[in-house]
């Protein structure tokens, strides 16, 4: 079955061009020129991945992402002429997984789609971060990891891409899942922002390490009972982040 792509773009020539390219690659593309139409597609038909412009007439792309995210696990790639750090951060905080600025090379979009469409169940167990960071792959890779035995407990089943606290399922985006995989492979070890950037985002994300901070902040809100006083996903000032299992 062909991978289903939702393309939300109000520039008709660009939307048509992208659709033709994606269909040539074998994708099944649903088009929308406004957020309301795109939300209807999300509600009525399962999609595998979304390409979303931010500058739309009516409901903007940020609002679309916030409204669509609770309805689907599908990765969201922003394609936008807005290239300020504040826009990138806002889109990721809203629930996007990746961000490509206009004008872009279509090969970059293709590469981003391929990277995000790697299914969690197919994600290779035992992956590690770059050697220069001396990270170690734990024996728990691919198994169930109890991250917090208190008030829950908080359990991460990597193979099933499943995070649960007690009886409550916690939604993870694809990027949050990949980030948690790397951190849980290296429990108790400090991982630098550079290592996380290079591993989770493959070839990196504009070389901007602040993107790691945004996703760690989002993930921390899901892992911690008190995000302002973390006990599991720790910041090691001046170095990076460490996942502690309790």
| Closest by Cα among 228, 227, 242 to 193 | 242
User: Contact, 50 vs 97, CB < 8 A?
Assistant: no
Rounded CA gap, 99 and 116, in Å? 12
The C-alpha R_g of the chain, in whole angstroms, comes to: 18
To the question of domain 4-117 being in CATH 3.30.1360.70, the answer is no
Rounded CA gap, 187 and 232, in Å? 10
Rounded CA gap, 56 and 109, in Å? 20
Residue 131: predicted pLDDT: 40
Partners of 163 in beta bridges: 156, 170
- Continuous segment of H or E residues that includes residue 19: helix 12-24
Beta pairing, strands 154-157 & 144-148: antiparallel
Residue 234: predicted pLDDT: 95
* Per-position pLDDT tens, the chain of length 246: 789 999 999 999 999 999 999 999 999 999 999 999 999 999 988 899 999 999 998 899 999 999 998 888 888 999 998 878 788 888 888 888 888 888 888 888 888 888 777 644 333 334 334 443 434 333 444 478 888 887 778 999 887 778 999 888 888 877 888 899 999 999 999 999 988 887 887 654 444 677 788 889 989 999 998 999 999 999 999 899 999 987
* Token pair for 22: 């994606």
Largest CA distance in the chain: 54
Instruction: Assign 101 to helix, strand or coil.
Output: strand
Q: Provide the 8-state DSSP code for 122.
A: G
Q: Which residues contact 191 (CB under 8 A, 6 or more apart)?
A: 129, 133, 135, 182, 183, 240, 241, 242
Q: Where are the domains of the chain?
A: 4-117, 122-243
Residue 128: predicted pLDDT: 39
Residue 85: predicted pLDDT: 79
Angle between helices 85-94 and 210-223 (to 10 degrees): 20
Q: Which CATH class is domain 122-243?
A: mainly alpha
pTM: 0.66
């Amino acid at each position: 079955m062909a991978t289903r792509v939702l393309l939300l773009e109000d520039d008709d020539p660009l939307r048509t061009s992208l659709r033709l390219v994606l269909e040539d690659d074998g994708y099944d593309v649903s088009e929308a020129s406004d957020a309301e139409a795109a939300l209807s597609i999300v509600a009525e038909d399962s999609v595998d991945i979304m390409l979303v412009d931010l500058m739309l007439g009516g409901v903007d792309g940020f609002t679309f992402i916030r409204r669509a995210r609770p309805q689907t696990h599908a990765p969201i790639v922003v394609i936008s002429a807005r290239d300020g750090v504040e826009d990138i951060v806002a889109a990721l905080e809203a629930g996007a997984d990746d961000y490509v600025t206009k004008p872009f090379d279509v090969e970059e979009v293709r590469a981003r789609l391929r990277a995000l469409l790697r299914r969690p169940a197919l994600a290779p167990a035992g992956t590690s971060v770059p050697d220069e960071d001396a990270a170690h792959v734990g024996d728990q890779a691919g198994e169930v990891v109890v991250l917090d035995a208190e008030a829950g407990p908080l359990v991460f089943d990597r193979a099933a891409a499943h995070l649960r606290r007690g009886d409550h399922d916690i939604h993870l985006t694809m990027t949050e899942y990949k980030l948690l995989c790397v951190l849980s492979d290296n429990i108790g070890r400090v991982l630098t922002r550079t290592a996380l950037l290079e591993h989770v985002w493959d070839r990196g994300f504009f070389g901007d390490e602040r993107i790691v901070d945004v996703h760690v902040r989002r993930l921390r809100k899901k892992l911690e009972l008190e995000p302002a006083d973390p006990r599991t996903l720790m910041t090691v000032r001046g170095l990076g982040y460490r996942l502690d299992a309790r």
